[in-house]
Structure 1
Amino acid sequence: MNASSPIGIFDSGIGGLTVAHAVTRLLPNENIIYFGDTAHLPYGDKSSAAIQAYSIKICNVLLQQKCKVILIACNSASAAAYELVKEYVGSKAKVINVIDPVIDYIDHHYRGKTVGLIGTKQTVNSNIYRKKTDALGKDIVLKSLATPLLAPMIEEGFFNNNISESIIYQYLANEELSGIEALILGCTHYPLIKSQIDSFYKENITILDTSEIVAAALKKYLSQSSLLNNLNAYIRHFYVSDYTQSFERSTQIFFGEQIRLEHYPLWE
């Protein structure tokens, strides 16, 4: 590992691009290698064993690229595969998930308060956020709701319209989320519907954008480890396990700029 080595980021699809985008905004000099496992999306309805198998395969690709950090930019994979990936990678790279930085954030900002969480079935049913929140011992009440329609809806481009608004509002009106003071967007797709979530709550609830929190945690780690890349030139490479032109166009919406995707089948 050295400062100029790339940061590897992976997700089941394009949701992780919200994390990648936040990272490039905060760390513009860093080299980025992104892997979207589009052949197996979404991870939210997959078994833990399947997610673990996909994650290890992807990590092999990222380790071949000499990544200094592997960022699991998916809540479902963070819940199901983080410990296995960390053990598998060992000392070859630092492994960061998208859950622990959020837990650390609410530890410092929401002690004694009620916080909501929306995410995939895999993330919510794993109870990982609740276990980690309870372990803090800071009287934080966590209210969780699985919102399984949101990620595939966003993947298909249905956001910022009446269809998506109806589904989002239906979920957020659920009694399970009553009385919350902040809401964790427990899926990396969800920052793309943040404006609609803000609209539902009339901006009276703080919406915690996990992509920004995770990017800040990554910067802190690189700085403390003297691994910040100070070179002006950078490389950004984007792989997908299944390629379509429509998917490539969708990534431009997620990332905010034109991106060329390279097809990299995982199982060949």
Structure 2
Amino acid sequence: MLFESGRNGNVYVTAINSVSQQANLRQFDVGVIDSGVGGLAVAREIQNLDSSIQIGYFADTAVFPYGDKNSIQVADRIDFLATKFVEAGTRLLVIACNTGSSAGLTSIRRKFARASVQIVGMEPPLKPAAIHSRNKSVAVVATSGTVAGQALTNLRDRVATDTTTKFIVASGLASSIERGELTGKDLDSVLQELLNLISSDGVDSVALGCSHYSFVYEEIREVLPDGVKLFDAALPVAKRTLELWTESRSSDNVSKSFNPISVFVTGDPAGFVASVARLETAGCMIPMVSVNPVPLPIN
């Protein structure tokens, strides 16, 4: 077996006899897509708002990280996983990844428009960061894929025209979080580098541009100078998702029971479980999840 069935903290794992024995993908109220553990921060906020919502979650660890892939590769992957959810009957999707949204959101919205599929994307919370900046100097901390994408430039031109905006690539931060490594010299080094970059140019407002970074929100906030505000998109994305879900559901289709998040791991499920367990041990608030290996082709 890949691993034993049972509970590890908030993680329920499902025993699979071989990698060819795939878990069933069924219809969910909400389907969430991310390259790894980061989107669990968004799923957690959705669950906190309404614990009865049935959430399916693709952890696309087979091709993690999205941040260092080109936009065509990422868009193809988002399309592939979104199609899996839609084919199973799910009609509300969340791309809980800034890089994935930047690369693939427009195309999958166009693809599924006639199927009445609603899709919530994720973008750095630059608008509130700019609004709350007294110095009109803002930093967006993101992966290289998000910084290189046209979507972030378009966002800046749309919501922060009167603000100086610095794009900062947090090299290696998402990978450290994906491994569940929230302590040690590697993380300290990344945070110190971020501090050095943020502290220049009078930056007084910082937007986090990767869902993984939600898990180190407190660590980042602790190293920021006094008076620098920090913004994360997980809760706003969850609120928008709940709005769409509330609008679309019928009164006779409301479950009152609590539902763990059904996670489908495209890569190594044991590694995913270990990472989530380390995050929980480090003090991160992890939603209750049921982890299912679901081998899918990379292309």
Determine if the TM-score, normalized by the shorter chain, exceeds 0.5: yes
TM range (shorter): 0.7 to 0.9
- Select 2:109's aligned residue among 86, 93, 103: 86
2:127 is equivalent to residue 136 of structure 1: no
TM-score w.r.t. length of structure 2: 0.79
Q: Deviations over 1:177-216 (max 9, x none)?
A: 5322221110111011112211111452211111112112
Query: Is there any run of 5+ residues in structure 1 with no aligned partner, and where?
Result: none
| Change in CA separation of 1:90 and 1:136 when aligned onto 2, cut-off 3 Å | same
Q: What's the counterpart of residue 95 of structure 1?
A: 119
Q: What's the counterpart of residue 265 of structure 1?
A: 295
Q: Deviations over 1:49-88 (max 9, x none)?
A: 1111111110122113322211001111111111111112
SS for the counterpart of 1:25 is helix
- Select 1:256's aligned residue among 271, 281, 286: 286
2:32 is equivalent to residue 41 of structure 1: no
- Select 1:233's aligned residue among 257, 262, 273: 257
SS for the counterpart of 2:180 is coil
| Change in CA separation of 1:89 and 1:192 when aligned onto 2, cut-off 3 Å | same
Structure 1: which amino acid aligns with 2:221? D
Structure 1: which amino acid aligns with 2:45? A
Aligned residues: 264
| Change in CA separation of 1:103 and 1:230 when aligned onto 2, cut-off 3 Å | farther
Provide the C-alpha distance between the structure 2 equivalents of 1:206 and 1:260, rounded to a whole number of angstroms.
35
Query: Is there any run of 5+ residues in structure 2 with no aligned partner, and where?
Result: 1-26
Structure 1: which amino acid aligns with 2:295? P
Higher mean alpha-carbon deviation, 71-80 vs 196-205, is at 196-205
Q: Is the 8 A contact 1:69 1:95 kept in 2?
A: yes
- Select 2:180's aligned residue among 146, 154, 157: 157
Percentage of matched positions with identical amino acids: 23
Q: What's the counterpart of residue 271 of structure 2?
A: 246
Higher mean alpha-carbon deviation, 132-141 vs 70-79, is at 132-141
Higher mean alpha-carbon deviation, 23-32 vs 71-80, is at 23-32
Q: Is the 8 A contact 1:143 1:176 kept in 2?
A: no
Q: Is the 8 A contact 2:135 2:202 kept in 1?
A: no
Alpha-carbon distance, 1:6 to partner: 1.1
Q: Is the 8 A contact 1:117 1:145 kept in 2?
A: yes
Q: What's the counterpart of residue 145 of structure 2?
A: 122
SS for the counterpart of 1:173 is helix
Alpha-carbon distance, 1:248 to partner: 0.9
TM-score w.r.t. length of structure 1: 0.87
Provide the C-alpha distance between the structure 2 equivalents of 1:61 and 1:20, rounded to a whole number of angstroms.
18
Alpha-carbon distance, 1:140 to partner: 3.0
| Change in CA separation of 1:97 and 1:257 when aligned onto 2, cut-off 3 Å | closer
| Change in CA separation of 1:131 and 1:227 when aligned onto 2, cut-off 3 Å | farther
